Structure 1
Amino acid sequence: MASHRRQWGALSSLLFLAPVFIAVPWLAYRNHRTLPEPEYRLFKPGTNIPQIAESEILGVAKFLSEEIGYRTVGTEEHAAADQWMVIQANKIKEECENVVAKTGRKLQCEVSRQQGSGYHRFDMMGKRLYKTYNDLSNIIVRISDGSEEGKEHALLVNAHLDSTLPSPGAADDAISVGVMLDCMRVLLATPDWSPKHAVIFLFNHAEESLQDGSHLFSTQHPWAKTARAVINLEAAGTTGRELLFQATSEQMIEAYSHVPRPYGTVFANEIFSSGIILSDTDFRQFEQYLNITGLDMAIVGNSYLYHMRKDLVENIEPGVAQHMGENTLALISYLTSDKSPIPDLAGGYTKPRTVYFTYVGRLFFSYSFATAKIMYGLLFLASVGLVKFTFAEPIPKGSGLWTVQGNAAKAVSLGVAGTFIAPNVVAVLMRQVLQKNLSWFSDPLAPVVLYGPACLLGALVPQYFFVGKIHERTLWTSILLMQTFMALGLQWMNIGSAALFFMSSLPLFIVTVINPLFVSGSGDVALISYALGQIFPLLTSSLLGIPTLEVFVPLTGRMGAEAPSDHIIAILVAVLGAPAFPLAIPLMHRFGKRALLRGIIVTSVLAAGSIAFFSARDPFDAMHQKRVFVLHMENVTTSEQHLHLAASDGAPGFEILVDEIVREFGTTDHAPAPVIMNDHNSDWDSLYPFSAFLTPFKVPLAVPKNYVSPWVNGRKFSIYAIEDEKDLVGGTRSLKIKIDHPGLIWTVIAFDAHVLKWDLDDNPPDEFARHHVKEASFFGTDSYELSLVIKISPETNPDGKLRINYMGLQEKGIWPAKKAVKEQGGAAMELFERLDNWLDEKTGGTVDALLMGCVGGVQEL
């Protein structure tokens, strides 16, 4: 039995350990926030050596996001960015030619503006979706040594010029465009740089319309077939270090080890690959159509501004661009050198079986899965031997060593289970009882304060039934065995994140070995051993947990009203917290039942206090805004106009806001009931399939008696068949549909049919189904065609008719992107100006509204 006579009591022991509990997370936080000093000088002082300059990068980002503005595919601003990029590319070519003329260096710079059309399938969020694009463009610069051998194997570097509907896109992705331009400046100005292997800089111009630009390059550009690896630059935030979140071969992981400021882990890679994060990048197209490996890197801190109006240069943290630029430059320099693995990738690549992680500062570690299995296996066997040969506690009669260890494992397992159960009870209380869900949203570390005390309480309560029955050291060694077993077991399943348990159990093993140096009795555990044993698990979990919360908290808060956001975050806190404090359970047993009961009472008070605090907290503020979607829809079939309202979160109060909007701008006294959202709700097809997240309201608007729709008379939005044949014997109908959409962008058609053949792909669903086809075109391209053969079925379609729902966005009807030409946006823009000002005043700037003028209807062919 355990003896509880200790020189230190519970309170004094906790005070002794407090510096570890405070200093280690603070060290991790400071490490996470550390960025390089921004440079404004183009050359290193006193030398002729060029360097990455953040001022240059942000100058590009500011011009694109503020001078040109919202560069949504299909808009006039999108075309202006295209023209500007062509000018920049030709300036680079001219500078390259000047360098060659002056120095004779082996350099050749080629510029290509690609423009083309195509189709591709783009499954997303479990939905089948098809894309068609027309006359879209890419601007590409290839730098080589001028030889055919030098161009045979190339590195592809990609960023996108366009921005999404509600955002000026300073970080996403103008900062990456600036990084690529500055890398080219530095490389051309570096006297001894000549690429052994070519580098292709792809400024793709249609990522936000579901990766049309990267698809166009991958499937149609002649240089694409020479690409052997890709570096994709992205942003989902405005602060912190650029994160490596996808690495798809061992060669590219090794290449990443050469960057000056690495920041990437196998944990992030596996989380992203799991599909938990509902996001995607151009990397997908390069993998699918070019079958190449690469690195996918993004700025992810403060993702509250991701796809929001405040994605502006003023909100980009100093040092962010410097970090991204220096790492990208180092990768390009290495991968174009004679040490590059690029030629070896010509025959394809295999998925990596590599554990890699960055640890405190610039330390980058990597080792193979095979090595990991050996390391973790040896640690597990050593731990078993250590427990077997150093076990000193008297074993109860009729019990064996492993029976005692099994009882300890049961206590630990119940404690871990409580760590998950208790915060979910709090989530139920906040969401269902107090109606205060998402109260944690405005700060990525707020969930730790809300759910952390509950996690601790959940671990404490089960231990009350074991105190005095299990020795403290037995619990300690049981945790050691469980963690080493988890590391080995997960690694045998080829899960690289098993390293988390290895990195926690290895220092615990070492401390267990040296513990006898600090105690007189062989069965005791020294308090200093707790301090030493906690440092690395707490540091590792903090280093992983802080960026994980930074990414997940904003994104989870915008997963839709039906998503169990509070439970997801509660579980996340438990997942991150449990390995951070592996020694908490043996420490609970150190001081006896009375001390544990006091601990349960104190923790209960803390949990209740955190609940009370967050119950009085507003989840949104001016920099952590609620995202609201507003559509002004004109139905050209019924001549009706409606205001559609939806939010992407489940925070309480939206229904009240909708009711107030209806009273102010609608034609009814109260808001109607929410509309059912499914694949047949075509009012929201412009956002399909993301629209599945939304719980929308449909509000009727008054239509002036003398109103004449420009979409029916004049710039007619129309769908018709230009070729149509029925084969009644074969039971098929062949037709070519033409869609004319002058003045409209991002059009969508949706219809129900059993498609036998079409020009979208070679594998349409072999069933009667709902189909969505989304379009993106260059500014001024106002029509496209779709050929298909459908089945005439007595059960589902006896007449062979095709009923098509169609809609599009007014190119001049997007607020605030088209604020400068609001007079050309008609009734939609007039309403949006008033509504936007009203929302800002009413909510104190806590709402970011996406305001889109839409035109839609139904056509039967």
Structure 2
Amino acid sequence: MIMYPQDRSITTLLLAILIFLFSWYMAVYFHNRLPSVKHQVDEFNAINARTHLRKLTGFGPRPAGSYANDIQALAFLREEIKKLNASSVGATKLELDVQKASGGFQLDVFGSGLAHQYTDLVNVIVRISPAEKNGGKTERSAVMINAHFDSVPQGPGAGDDGANCAVMLEIIRLFMTSTEPELHNDVIFLFNGAEESILPASHAFITQHPWAKNIKAFINLEGAGAGGRELLFQSGPNNPWLIQTYINQAPHPFASIIGQEIFQSGLIPSDTDFRVFRDYGKIPGLDVAFIKNGYVYHTENDSEERIPTETLQRVGDNVYAVVKVLAGKSDLGAESSGTTQVFFDVFGLFVVSYPQWAGIIINVIMMILSVVSGIINLKSLAKKTDLTMKRIGIIIAISSASNIAMLLISILFAFLIALLLGAIGRTMSWFSKTVILLSLYTAPTLAVCMAVLAAFQLYLEKTIKSEDERKCLTRVSWFHAAQVFFIIPCLVLTSAGYNSGFVFSMSLMFLLLSQLISSFKLPAAVTCLCCGSSQWAKYILHLCTQVIPLMMWSYLFQLILTIFIPIMGRNGTAKNPEVTIGMATVTFTFIFLQSFLPVLATYRKTVLKWLGYFFIFNVVIALILISAKVGFPYSGSREAPAQKRLVIQHARRTDHKGIVDGGLLFARQDYHDTLELYDISEYANSQPITEDMCLQNLGCGVPISKRKVTDMTGTSWLSVDPPVFHSNPVGFKEISRTFTGSQINLTLEVSGTTWVTTFLSPVPGVKLLSWSMDAEKILATSTWNDRDTFYVTFCQGLRSVPSRFWLLLDIDSSLVVDAGVAGDILDVVATAHHHHGQEMRSTLLRSLVAKFPPWVSLSAWTTDTLITTI
């Protein structure tokens, strides 16, 4: 039976706080720990990698099709690779190929279609193999490493993904200068030239390049931040041997099945080339990404100096160690796919991994043992008191229900606070100052906890006369209430097939350990250290058993905050981020409390009441300060930017009647509508895009800035003179049509810049049956006026030429007249985006950009939109 000191002095509380703070800051330490930089020639040299990174990012932003990407970056990579080839000591040989590819495909983005057609995209591919192949084998299995050298138009892309390209170049050097035994498999390095255009270059390689068919495993290197540790957040599908190789070989592991399940749930608005290699190449792989400082992701601040050299050392050490082993496997790809793995690192020191079926067994065992321990305690308590087992069971059930009620009430308070902050326009105060979460959401959770514990004491005072029995029941019932809390999500997640349930069974295991320790008589030496008090000794031992689970939960919560808080700056305008972040903070606060509930529950009602008042006061003060603008979300600090993201398009628009006008399109990327920006006259005078506008016009009648055709919340339009374009005007026209019965085959042509986005919507009575992007699959993006709408992008390399594609449509007989069609069959909106070059920003746009404060990150370029029918 769990024992706690009878004297509920401030010391017990201070010890609990000390244990929590120790656990929290140990997790902080492990999250920030990076290896030392090495200087040996035969090891990964991060100094060399930094030199490559500085040169690559020196070309500035590198969107696909730009001179910086398709000429300068390409030439840099070819030159560096040739130098590395010249450094070979003769054990390996290097082959270099530059791929220019065209094609089309479709992605299923969580039930929403996204179609691509691409032309002349560039990939740089390196294959390293033994200088002489044994046994006359002409084809060998291969392992691939992928990173992309293009960037978004608004930033130099150091973290995303120049750093990983630099790492790959240094790994090539290591293979070329290695004198180790012959490789059993080739190593392919794919320097991907168009990832930011929504993954077309990886599709071009994996479906068209002759080397792709030999690849048996891959590592995809990405960036959703800058610096820090790289997280392995996806693996498989299945193929446990691959994750096991990472576990056994990576010297600095950082991996979690929780990250994989969160990413694949769609909560993170991003995707990587991993999806293309997995779905189109049917290849197992590992997906690795930088996650720290996600504030600079896809901004002008994603620069080389923000990447610590130690970060390059870390990812280089890990990738080289894993790839070297995979390249040396004699049976690469021959292993059975196996089952899904449960995997998680322990503070970056090592990784624990086991099959899904073993995880289910462990979870079930922990849940059963927890129930059994409760029954044993119930029987033991019944023998030592005058209470029946039924009476004790009812009290434990009430405390367990009160515990769950505590969580639900705390979540309700968080939801109400989120609604209040949304109503007064003061959301996201924590965006650049995470500590505010303590006052906004942790404090009310603690206040609710104090209130529920005090109410439980009142209940016991009315039903149990003996004070000793009340104290004993309080300790035991709240200990088992904590067990019940962890059992519920563990059971739900395990039953639903999620592997993340391990984190709850781990807490159950350490609670059981605490109970086991308390059931034994402690040695005299142990009790002597605690002033001869067995109760104090067991209390301290209980706190010690909670250090590991508290560290693991702190480690996880810090990971969640690191990923999700910056994401709230680009998560769109539809959902109040206070709800997401508030509920996450409440949940983790509640989880942390479970280790301390039994001791908190034994404090007098007066103490609990005043603690509750203190926490409520904290919340009120925080709300007052935030209302007074102290909680301004953004920071333009050069050292630690946390910027608001805003898209601005200076647009020329041509409607279906040929009328040309112009305007400025403003599109917020986050929920917070910042009043300070209304000091800029153009922004203040712009008019919101309304739902009626979106219902009347495909794409709301404005340039395409989102994949949604109806929800344009946070988007506004100001009529101004259109920009003047001297080249690459947008165009969309019919080339030919062929009738076969009730079907019509349309050949269409779209022209413009290297990045053109379109909405296609067949009129009522017309159905899209097939198309050149993906002849086997048709998936609508959304609906508009009960009509299917398709979002299609056209991405091109340096030479922008018209793109042709075909659609096969089924026509209702009522629309067919004399082997022709009466009226239009297709509504079209096409927007050409000037992501680079001299026409990227007009004079008006440049002057407007200069008006914005440094705490705003702008994605600003000119666009040319055509609204037409076919």
Partners of 1:415 and 1:585 within 8 A in 2: no
1:90 aligned to which of 82, 86, 92: 82
Residue 374, structure 1, aligned to residue 373, structure 2? no
1:475 aligns with 478
Contact 1:457–1:603 (8 Å) recurs in 2: yes
Counterpart secondary structure, 2:108: coil
* Equivalent-residue separation in structure 1 for 2:793 and 2:417 (angstroms): 42
**Do the aligned partners of residues 435 and 158 (structure 1) sit closer, same or farther apart at CA in structure 2, a change above 3 Å counting?**
same
Distance 1:474 1:178 in 2: 57
In structure 2, which of residues 659, 662, 666 is the aligned counterpart of residue 645 of structure 1?
666
Which residue in 2 is equivalent to 1:596?
608
One-letter identity of the residue aligned with 2:863 = C
Cα distance in 1, alignment partners of residues 805 and 81 from structure 2? 35
For residues 708 and 168 of structure 2, what CA distance do their matches in structure 1 show? 32
How far 1:809 sits from its partner (Å)? 1.5
Q: CA deviation at 1:684?
A: 3.9
- Residue identity (%): 23
Q: What CA distance in whole angstroms lies between the structure 1 residues aligned with 2:376 and 2:535?
A: 12
Task: State the secondary structure of the residue aligned to 1:222.
Answer: coil
How far off its partner does 1:589 sit? 1.5
What secondary structure, in the 3-state scheme, does the structure 2 residue paired with 1:419 have? helix
1:7 and 2:7 correspond: yes
What one-letter code is carried by the residue in structure 2 that aligns with 1:773?
V
Give the TM-score taking structure 2 as reference length. Answer: 0.87
Aligned partner of 1:815 in structure 2 is: none
- Where 1:471 maps in the other structure, the secondary structure is helix
Pairing partner for 1:287 from 278, 291, 296: 278
Following superposition, the deviation at residue 310 of structure 1 comes to 0.5
In the alignment, which residue of structure 2 is the partner of 1:835?
848
Q: Are positions 1:661 and 2:719 aligned together? A: no
The alpha-carbon deviation at position 94 of structure 1 amounts to: 3.5
User: Residue 632 and residue 65 in structure 1: after superposition, are their counterparts in 2 closer, same or farther (change >3 A)?
Assistant: same
Across the aligned residues of Structure 1 and Structure 2, the Cα RMSD in angstroms comes to: 2.9
SS of residue in 2 equivalent to 1:850: strand
Contact 1:229 1:293 in 2 (8 A): yes
- Counterpart in 2 of 1:16? 15
Which residue of 492, 511, 515 maps to 1:508? 511
Q: Name the counterpart of 1:772.
A: 791
- How far residue 650 of structure 1 moved from its aligned partner, in angstroms, is 1.8
Question: Contact 1:645/1:658 (CA < 8 Å) preserved in 2?
Answer: no
SS of residue in 2 equivalent to 1:162: coil
Counterpart-to-counterpart distance in 1, 2:613 and 2:437: 21
State the alpha-carbon separation in 1 of the partners of residues 730 and 484 from structure 2: 68
Q: Per-residue deviation at 1:829?
A: 2.3
Q: Distance in 1 between matches of 2:279 and 2:189?
A: 19
| Match 2:376 to one of 383, 389, 392 | 389
Q: 2:346 aligns with which of 359, 377, 394?
A: 359
CA distance in 1, matches of 2:659, 2:191: 42
For 2:826 and 2:372, locate their aligned partners in 1 and report how far apart those are by CA, in whole Å: 73
- In 1: Cα distance, 2:368 partner to 2:396 partner: 15
Closer, same or farther: CA 160–5 of 1 in aligned 2, 3 Å: closer
2:43 to 41, 51, 66: 51
Matches within 5 A, 1:49-448: 49-66=41-58, 68-80=59-71, 81-96=73-88, 99-100=89-90, 105=91, 107-124=92-109, 126-145=111-130, 146-147=132-133, 149=137, 151-248=139-236, 249-257=239-247, 258-338=249-329, 342-345=332-335, 349-350=337-338, 352-390=339-377, 391-392=380-381, 394=385, 396-397=387-388, 399-432=390-423, 434-444=424-434, 446-448=436-438
C-alpha change, 1:290 and 1:125, in structure 2 (3 Å) is closer
Once the two structures are overlaid, the 10-residue window that deviates more, 266-275 or 443-452, is 443-452
Structure 1 distance, partners of 2:492, 2:760, is: 49
Counterpart residue number, 2:469: none
Question: 1:788 Cα deviation (Å)?
Answer: 1.9
Q: Distance in 2 between matches of 1:185 and 1:6?
A: 66
TM-score, normalised to structure 1, is: 0.88
> Residue in 1 aligned with 2:499?
496
Aligned residue among 749, 761, 768 for 2:758: 749
Q: How far apart in 2 are the matches of 1:445 and 1:256?
A: 35
Q: Would you say the 8 A contact 1:672–1:698 is kept in 2? A: yes
Aligned: 1:673 with 2:688: yes
Q: In the alignment, which residue of structure 1 is the partner of 2:809? A: 790
Q: Is the 8 A contact 2:202 2:273 kept in 1?
A: yes
1:125 deviation in Å? 5.9
| 1:74–1:811 contact (8 Å) kept in structure 2 | no
Give the CA deviation at 1:524: 10
Could you say which structure has the greater relative contact order, defined with CA pairs below 8 angstroms and 6 or more residues apart?
2
CA distance in structure 2 between the aligned counterparts of 1:513 and 1:690, rounded to whole angstroms: 60
Stretches of structure 1 that go unaligned for 5 or more consecutive residues are 664-668, 813-817
| Offset at residue 414 of structure 1 (A) | 1.5
- Write the deviation string for residues 144-190 of structure 1: whole angstroms up to 9, x where unpaired: 22436484221111001111122210110010101111011112222
1:442: how far off?
Answer: 1.0
Q: Which residue, out of 618, 626, 631, partners 1:617?
A: 631
Post-superposition offset of 1:362: 1.4
- The residue number in structure 1 matching 2:465 is none
**What secondary structure sits across from 2:324 in the alignment?**
helix
**Cα separation, 1, equivalents of 2:485 and 2:690:** 50
Matching residue of 2:468: none
Q: 2: distance between equivalents of 1:756 and 1:381? A: 54
- CA deviation after TM superposition for structure 1 residue 794, in Å: 6.2
Count matched residues: 808
Please list every run of 5 or more consecutive structure 2 residues that lacks an aligned counterpart in the other structure: 461-472, 781-785, 816-820
Residue 441 of structure 2 corresponds to residue 454 of structure 1: no
Q: 2:599 is matched with which residue?
A: 587
1:557–1:565 Cα contact (<8 Å) kept: no
Q: Which moved more, 1:716-725 or 1:745-754?
A: 716-725
Displacement after TM superposition at 1:220 (Å)? 0.5
Q: 1:294 to 1:149 in 2, by over 3 A?
A: farther
1:360 maps to amino acid:
F
Asked whether the 8 Å contact 1:355–1:368 carries over to 2, the reply is yes
Larger deviation: 294-303 or 692-701?
A: 692-701
Structure 1 counterpart SS, 2:196? coil
For residues 580-617 of structure 1, the C-alpha deviation after alignment (integer angstroms, 9 at most, x for no partner) is: 23133323311132222122112212222333344422
CA–CA distance in 2 between the matches of 1:15 and 1:181? 52
Quick one: distance in 2 between partners of 1:603 and 1:715?
Answer: 61
C-alpha distance in structure 2 between counterparts of 1:774 and 1:639, whole Å: 23
Q: How far off its partner does 1:536 sit?
A: 2.1
Q: Distance in 1 between matches of 2:564 and 2:768?
A: 39
Q: CA deviation at 1:530?
A: 4.6
167 and 710 in structure 1: CA distance in 2 versus 1, 3 angstrom threshold: closer
Q: 1:180 to 1:369 in 2, by over 3 A?
A: same
Counterpart contact for 1:450–1:614, Cα < 8 Å: no
Does 1:853 pair with 2:838?
no
Q: 1:275 to 1:441 in 2, by over 3 A?
A: same
